[in-house]
Each structure stands twice: as C-alpha cells, then as structure tokens.
C-alpha cells in the first residue's frame, strides 16, 4: 500500500485518532518491521470506539504484539 493511501486510511473521523495514527505513520513507517506494518493496517479495520479505548489506555489488546504496537503509538502523545 502506498504511503499516501495509508495516510488516508488513518483518517478516522475522530481528530484524536487521526493525529495519533498519521503522526505515527509519518515518523515511524519507514523503519517499521513488516509484521508491525501488517498489524497496524489490520488495526485500522477496527471500530473507532475500540481503538480510542486502546489509545486512552482504558483497554488493551489481548495480543501482546498488538499491545506493544499500541504502546509505541501512544508514546509521546496524549489525548
């Protein structure tokens, strides 16, 4: 997937999620390992309320690798 298409998919309709996801892509996509890229793209298919809960730290993904990715996205950002 092209970077511009990925950035478009990061647009969620919630400004907070938009900012987190597009910022993460802009800063880290090029250095991100392929498994994490796949996790991130799959995560974008999830509903906004679930993602928002993860980004606020209210909930945590059950998959440890996905939980690690969520923590890296949250690092340095507050909602």
Q: What is the pLDDT of residue 79?
A: 46
Q: How far apart are the first and last CA of the chain?
A: 28
Q: How far is CA 7 from CA 34, 65, 66, 68, in A?
A: 17, 22, 19, 21
* Segments of the chain with pLDDT less than 50: 78-79
Domain count, the chain: 1
44: domain CATH number? 1.10.150.250
Whether residue 79 lies inside any domain: the answer is no
Residue 47 lies in a domain: yes
- Please check whether residue 43 lies inside any domain of the structure: yes
pTM of the model: 0.89
Q: Which range of residues forms the domain containing residue 57?
A: 3-74
Report if residue 52 sits inside a domain.
yes
Burial, 51: exposed, middle or buried (Cβ in 10 Å; 0-12, 13-18, 19+)? buried
């Amino acid at each position: 997937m092209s970077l511009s298409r990925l950035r478009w998919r990061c647009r969620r309709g919630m400004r907070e999620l938009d900012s987190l996801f597009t910022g993460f892509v802009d800063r880290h996509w090029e250095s991100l390992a392929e498994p994490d890229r796949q996790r991130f793209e799959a995560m974008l298919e999830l509903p906004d309320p679930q993602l928002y809960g993860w980004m606020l730290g209210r909930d945590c993904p059950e998959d440890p690798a996905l939980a690690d990715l969520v923590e890296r996205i949250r690092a340095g950002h507050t909602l």
